[in-house]
Structure formats: structure tokens, C-alpha cells
Amino acid sequence: MEYHIHIVCDGDSVHIDGLPGGPDSLKLPDSIVRGVTMIWDLVESRVREADCICIGGIGYTGDTLTIAAFDIWVQAGEEGYFLPMDISAKLFSENGIPYFHSPFMS
């Protein structure tokens, strides 16, 4: 099954929303948690007022959860913005997160 998901990271925790059964229904793979945490560290080092990032993507459920991300939202106080697509794609690529707009390889 395919679901639109959001992975939220604030430096203290990483969680996923949008899966059937709620955020505790499937555990995020450790590689995704490490990648999201590294992206947060990079964003936070450049955007001091950042509160969290939210990575939008598609989650494919089955025996294991597979994720393909498509954007990064940076929340800073009451305001927020999407990172440009080329920056998001590079951050995903450098941190082991499949990018939805690239051909999906299973």
C-alpha cells in the first residue's frame, strides 16, 4: 500500500505521520532516522531559528516500510518554507534517503 507521509524531526525526536494505524504502526528504518537526523543537523547549523523540519514523501508498506521523500519543510517560529528542490534532492542523496522524483529502485 502507498501512503502520503510526513517525517518530523526537531533534534530530539524523529516520528512519522500519515500511516494507517497511527505513528506507532510501523517503525522507521534506522537508516531513515539517521538520514533525517543528519539533514536536521545540517539545516539547523544554517538556519538558527529552525524549530523542526518536516520531510514529505510516500511510504510503501509491506514486510518493511520503504520511503521515498519529495520535499523538506523548515519550520521557524510562526513561519516556514520549503527548501528548493535541488537542495532537497542533494540532502536526500547525501544522507541515504531515496528521492521520489528519481527512478524508484527496489
**Would you state the pLDDT for residue 7?**
94
**Average pLDDT along the chain:** 88
pTM: 0.87
| CA-only gyration radius of the chain, Å | 13
Quote the CA–CA distance of 100 and 3 in Å, as a whole number. Answer: 13
Q: Exposed, middle or buried by CB within 10 Å (0-12, 13-18, 19+), for 21?
A: exposed
Per-residue pLDDT tens digits for 81-92: 999 999 999 999
Per-residue pLDDT tens digits for 50-80: 999 999 999 888 777 888 999 999 999 999 9
Is a pLDDT exceeding 90 seen at residue 49?
yes
Quote the CA–CA distance of 31 and 69 in Å, as a whole number. Answer: 13
